[in-house]
Amino acid sequence: MGTVGKTLLILSGGVEAIKGIEIAKAMGLKVVVVDGNPDAPGRVLADAFIEANIYDPSAVVRMIAAYEGREKVDGVITVASDAVRSVAAVAEFLGLPGISKETAFLSTEKFEMKLRFEESSIPVPGFVSIGSIDELIANVGRWPKAVLKPVDSRGARGVVRIGAEDDLQWAYAYSCGFSPSKRLILEEWIEGPQLSTESLVVDGKTYLCGVADRNYSRLPEAYPYVIEDGGETPSRFSPMIDEQLTKLLDSAANALGIESGVLKGDIVLNEAEGNAPYIIEVATRLSGGFFSTITIPLVYEINIVERAILLSLGQLPPLPERLTPICFQANRFLFLPPGTVANVCGPETDQLPEYVKYFELNAAVGDVVPNIENHTMRRGSVLVNAETRGEAVTRAESIITSIEVEVEDRAPLVQ
Ligand X SMILES: Nc1ncnc2c1ncn2[C@@H]1O[C@H](COP(=O)(O)OP(=O)(O)O)[C@@H](O)[C@H]1O
| Cβ closest to Mg ion, residue 74 vs residue 82 | 82
Closest CA to 232 of 402, 394, 18, 17: 394
Sign of the dihedral through C-alpha 199, 192, 370, 181:
positive
Identify which of 295, 293, 323 has the alpha carbon closest to the alpha carbon of residue 384: 295
| 376 is a site residue for Mg ion (CB under 5 A) | no
Nearest-Å Rg of the Cα atoms of the chain is 21
Q: Give the integer Cα–Cα distance in Å for 204 and 266.
A: 19
The residue (of 266 and 397) whose beta carbon lies closer to Mg ion is 266
In the range 269-328, which residues lie near ligand X by CB under 6 A? 280-281
Per DSSP, 71 falls in state G
Q: Does 80 bind ligand X (CB under 6 A)?
A: no
Under the binding rule (CB under 6 A), the answer on residue 190 touching ligand X is yes
Q: Exposed e or buried b for every residue in 155-182, given b needs 16+ CB within 10 A? A: ebbbbbbbbeebebeebbebbbebbeee
| Residue number with the smallest Cβ distance to ligand X | 125
- Using the minimum distance from each CB to ligand X, give the nearer residue, 268 or 308: 268
Find residue 269's DSSP bridge partners.
277
153 lies in the binding site for ligand X (CB under 6 A): yes
Secondary structure of residue 26 in the 3-state scheme: helix
For the segment 202-241, give every residue that binds ligand X (CB under 6 A).
226
Task: Residue 391: name its binding partner from Mg ion, ligand X, none (Cβ under 5 to 8 Å by kind).
Answer: none
Round to whole Å and give the CA distance between 3 and 24.
9
Per-residue mark of binding to ligand X, 109-148 (x: CB under 6 A): ----------------x---------------------x-
Which residue of 97, 155, 163, 193 would you call a contact of ligand X, by CB under 6 A? 155
Binder of residue 183, out of ligand X, Mg ion, none (CB less than 5 to 8 A by kind): none
Give Cα 185 distance to the centre of its chain. Answer: 19
Instruction: Return the residue of 30, 114, 116, 154 that touches ligand X, per CB under 6 A.
Output: 154
Residue 282 region by backbone torsions, left for phi larger than 0, else alpha for psi between -120 and 50, else beta: beta
- What's CA 376's distance to the chain center, in Å? 11
The C-alpha atoms of residue 381 and residue 360 are separated, in whole angstroms, by 5
User: Minimal distance in Å, beta carbon 266 to Mg ion?
Assistant: 4
If one asks whether residue 149 binds ligand X (CB under 6 A), the answer comes out as yes
Which residues, including other chains, have CB under 8 Å from residue 247's CB and lie 6 or more apart? Answer: none
Q: Is the CB of 47 or the CB of 266 nearer to ligand X?
A: 266
CB of 32 to ligand X, least distance (A): 28
Q: Can you tell me which of 22, 47, 266, 306 binds Mg ion, judged by CB under 5 A?
A: 266
Query: Are 229 and 335 a contacting pair, CB within 8 Å?
Result: yes
Q: In this chain, which of 79, 99, 156, 195 binds ligand X, going by CB under 6 A? A: 156
Closer residue to ligand X, CB minimum distance, 69 or 163: 163
Residues that bind ligand X (CB under 6 A): 125, 147, 149, 153-157, 159, 187-190, 194, 226, 266, 268, 280-281
